């Protein structure tokens, strides 16, 4: 080997040697220590980390105290570029926390110090949160926005915050009084179970306020503050809650609001916490997220020993905010309910013992003005979810099918006392006038509701034609703009023999709700199919599937389920053949005849525009004589109404007076 080659190799060796020395300045060890620290913090376990100035287990305990309020969330932590100066290394620790729906990011500066051949982490609380001092921790609080209102027609507040008082025993104010005795007295005063309340008071801690009942704070409140406070420990604490004008106002439609239960909180996957107010039933539940808005979150740094009392007493907040997600208020839910008509409908039903309903619509717009379910419905939304045989109100559908088969209101039909189909005997309602038997016009048969006359034309009107006529009138058709769960009617397209004969008088497998009956009347008044509207600004993610015919199975535990056991068919998407103005005019003519010459003459003196109506009585159950549903529908100017009583005798005599009372008062 030549000298020049030896020199070259020696130079290469020198260069390589120098490079190796340069790489062995401790950077790799420092980088490993930095990575280990980042991993340990991310896992919320500092015990594997060697510290300069703090024992690992002590540092670990401090970390867990600092971050305890954020449990069970853990941060993502990464070590940034390392700067090495002799035996000291500095690098950024980049934190990222997933807090609710947001990301909290921050960076702190970390320092390593070399001790022998090991790199130790220099302890500082600032490793965890920027500028954190010894003895400080994080706190997390939720800021719940005020729940949005539910509005009615012309944006009148239906549900809004109204004053209440939370009545209960404040145990620190008992003095030497017997808690059980005080609890018993208060329970009797406000009308709750004394034994259960005594147990609640006994089971609660010595500093607790034990709520007994929440009362509306009105001038007519039956229990006064003086009566409450005369009981040892008794207190009435003023508050506000989202409430309708009265306890019963549209309750089945609107739903209620209250604190989330432990079960609801558990099922919410962290969306709900103790004390959160949520909707139960009706629109309050369906549109809960829209009404509730989004809670805000505030993360603060504070002294570990800071008490709530000290925070409240301080002239300025002794905590400092390090991260905040602003609360987003809920959006008011706009509905078409007319508060005066809704209250009138409820007042009209107040003395009716069976399940009952009044539904009022505006034919020109489809707006649902009232959907009242009576006290006998026991909280169930009979008005919108009930599934019942509509009885002779369905003759409106029959008549449309007959008009399309060549009949006119003046066509003659045969009204006989009875008619037998495949061995089953059909008859007219009790007390049917003999002078209206025989060969009569379709108008007269409709006005007096001759069952046999309509059944007699069953061979000229198929079941499929009945189904088509029903959809023409908005019955059994989806309601994409309703915005609430409802049963919209069911008219099967196939039925033979006695089943088809029964359908001709609104029985058998034909089902309607008071809402769908009102839609039918509204479609006649408008001269076109009416699609009902209740919610004007639904959140698309929460809007009900249009016209969910299975909705009748969703009654609350306390509710009275519909009497029908017939399986309802799903509604059609649209009307097969919309009713025409000419067809509707003929139907309106026959509905007017029910008032002028039929058995709804009691409506003749209702002030204002002429009233057109149709009564209905539908037998149900196995009793002899059978129980009956009582129906009446009416059109009065730009108002369509259906009145229903589940066990009500005849439609004319039971539901008719309720309808008249409603129409006269409605003006």
241-253 residue pLDDT tens? 999 999 999 999 9
Q: How confident is the model at residue 541 (pLDDT cuts 50, 70, 90)?
A: low
Query: For residue 481, how many other CB atoms are within 10 A of its CB?
Result: 17
Domain with CATH 3.10.450.100 in the chain: 3-134
Q: Has residue 557 got a pLDDT over 50? A: no
Q: Has residue 463 got a pLDDT over 80? A: yes
* C-alpha span between 534 and 360 (Å, rounded): 11
**pLDDT, tens digit, for every residue of 433-454?**
887 788 999 999 999 999 998 9
Q: How confident is the model at residue 499 (pLDDT cuts 50, 70, 90)?
A: confident
* C-alpha span between 370 and 546 (Å, rounded): 19
Residue 308: partners with Cβ closer than 8 Å, 6 or more residues away: none
| CATH code for the part of the protein at 3-134 | 3.10.450.100
Q: Mean of the pLDDT values across residues 379-404?
A: 95
Extended beta strands in 315-468, E state = 320-325, 333-334, 356-362, 367-373, 412-415, 418-421, 424-427, 438-441
Question: What is the per-residue pLDDT for 619?
Answer: 80
* C-alpha span between 356 and 616 (Å, rounded): 14
Question: What is the per-residue pLDDT for 411?
Answer: 95
Judge whether 59 and 122 are in contact, CB under 8 Å: no
Q: Has residue 224 got a pLDDT over 50? A: yes
Query: For residue 187, how many other CB atoms are within 10 A of its CB?
Result: 22
- Phi, psi (degrees; rounded to nearest 5) at 384: -110, -25
Question: What is the per-residue pLDDT for 57?
Answer: 96
Residue that is written with structure tokens 């030896």 in the block: 6
Q: Has residue 270 got a pLDDT over 80? A: no
Q: Mean of the pLDDT values across residues 477-490?
A: 95
Q: Mean of the pLDDT values across residues 626-653?
A: 88
Residue 170: partners with Cβ closer than 8 Å, 6 or more residues away: 209, 210, 233, 234, 235
- For the chain, the straight-line distance linking the first and the last C-alpha, in angstroms and rounded, comes to 122
Residue 352: partners with Cβ closer than 8 Å, 6 or more residues away: 374, 375, 376, 645, 658
Architecture field, domain 339-666: 3-Layer(aba) Sandwich (3.40)
Of 259, 324, 247, the C-alpha closest to 292 is: 259
Domain with CATH 3.90.1310 in the chain: 150-331
Residue that is written with structure tokens 């053949």 in the block: 577
For residue 464 the two structure tokens come to 């499929």
> Cα torsion for 303, 304, 309, 313, to the nearest 10°?
0
Of 196, 237, 614, the C-alpha closest to 398 is: 614
Q: Mean of the pLDDT values across residues 14-27?
A: 49
Q: Has residue 510 got a pLDDT over 90? A: yes
**pLDDT, tens digit, for every residue of 360-386?**
999 999 999 999 999 999 999 999 999
Judge whether 524 and 484 are in contact, CB under 8 Å: no
Q: Has residue 564 got a pLDDT over 80? A: no
- Phi, psi (degrees; rounded to nearest 5) at 562: -60, 155
Question: What is the per-residue pLDDT for 1?
Answer: 54
**pLDDT, tens digit, for every residue of 274-290?**
777 889 999 999 999 99
Question: What is the 3 state secondary structure string of 309-335?
Answer: HHHHHCCCCCCEEEEEECCECCCCEEE
Q: CATH top-level class for 150-331?
A: alpha beta
């Amino acid at each position: 080997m030549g000298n020049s080659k030896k020199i070259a190799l020696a130079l290469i060796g020198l260069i390589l040697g120098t490079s190796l020395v340069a790489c062995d300045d401790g950077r790799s060890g420092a980088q490993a220590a930095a990575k280990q620290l980042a991993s340990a913090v991310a896992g919320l376990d500092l015990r594997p980390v060697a510290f300069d100035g703090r024992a690992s287990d002590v540092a670990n305990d401090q970390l867990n105290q600092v971050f305890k309020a954020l449990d069970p969330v853990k941060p993502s932590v990464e070590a940034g570029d390392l700067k090495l100066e002799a035996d000291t290394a500095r690098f950024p620790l980049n934190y990222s926390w997933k807090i609710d729906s947001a990301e909290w990011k921050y960076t702190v500066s970390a320092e390593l110090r070399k001790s022998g051949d090991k790199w130790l982490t220099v302890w500082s609380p600032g490793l965890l949160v920027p500028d954190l001092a010894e003895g400080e921790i994080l706190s997390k609080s939720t800021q719940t926005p005020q729940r949005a209102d539910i509005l009615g027609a012309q944006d009148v507040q239906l549900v809004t915050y109204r004053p209440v008082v939370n009545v209960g025993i404040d145990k620190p104010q008992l003095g030497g009084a017997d808690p059980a005795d005080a609890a018993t007295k208060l329970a009797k005063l406000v009308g709750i179970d004394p034994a259960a309340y005594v147990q609640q008071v006994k089971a609660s801690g010595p500093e607790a306020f034990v709520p007994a009942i929440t009362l509306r704070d009105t001038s007519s409140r039956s229990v006064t503050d003086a009566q409450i406070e005369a009981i040892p420990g008794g207190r009435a604490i003023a508050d506000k809650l989202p409430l309708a004008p009265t306890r019963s106002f549209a309750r089945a439609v609107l739903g209620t609001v209250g604190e989330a239960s432990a079960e609801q909180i558990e099922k919410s996957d962290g969306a709900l916490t103790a004390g959160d107010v949520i909707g139960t039933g009706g629109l309050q539940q369906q549109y809960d997220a829209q009404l509730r808005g989004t809670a805000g979150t505030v993360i603060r740094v504070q002294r570990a020993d800071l008490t709530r009392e000290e925070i409240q007493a301080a002239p300025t907040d002794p905590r400092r905010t390090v991260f905040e997600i602003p609360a987003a208020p809920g959006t008011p839910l706009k509905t078409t309910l007319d508060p005066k008509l809704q209250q009138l409908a409820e007042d009209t039903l107040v003395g009716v013992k069976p399940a009952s309903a009044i539904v009022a619509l505006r034919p020109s717009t489809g707006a649902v003005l009232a959907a009242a379910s009576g006290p006998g419905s026991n909280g169930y939304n009979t008005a919108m979810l009930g599934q019942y045989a509509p009885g002779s109100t369905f003759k409106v559908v029959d008549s449309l099918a007959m008009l399309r088969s060549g009949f006119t209101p003046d066509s003659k039909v045969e009204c006989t006392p009875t008619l037998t189909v495949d061995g089953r005997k059909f008859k007219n309602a009790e007390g049917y006038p003999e002078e209206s038997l025989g060969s009569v016009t379709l108008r007269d048969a409709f006005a007096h509701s001759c069952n046999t006359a309509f059944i007699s034309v069953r061979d000229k009107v198929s079941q499929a034609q009945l189904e088509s006529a029903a959809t023409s009138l908005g019955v059994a058709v989806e309601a994409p703009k309703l915005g609430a769960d409802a049963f919209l009617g069911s008219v099967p397209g196939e039925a033979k023999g006695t089943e088809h004969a029964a359908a001709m008088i609104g029985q058998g497998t034909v089902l309607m709700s008071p809402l769908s009956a009102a839609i039918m009347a509204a479609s006649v008044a408008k001269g076109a199919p009416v699609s009902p509207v209740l919610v004007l600004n639904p959140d698309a993610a929460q809007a009900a599937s249009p016209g969910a015919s299975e909705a009748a199975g969703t009654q609350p535990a306390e509710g009275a389920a519909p009497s029908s056991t017939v399986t309802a068919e799903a509604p059609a998407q649209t009307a097969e053949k919309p009713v025409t103005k000419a067809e509707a005019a003929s139907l309106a003519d026959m509905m007017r005849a029910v008032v002028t010459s039929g058995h709804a003459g009691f409506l003749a003196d209702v002030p204002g525009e002429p009233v057109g109506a149709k009564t209905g009585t539908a037998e149900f159950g196995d009793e002899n004589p059978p129980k009956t549903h009582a129906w009446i529908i009416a059109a009065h100017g730009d108002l369509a109404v259906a009145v229903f009583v589940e066990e009500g005798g005849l439609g004319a005599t039971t539901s008719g007076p309720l309808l008249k009372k409603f129409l006269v008062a409605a003006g």
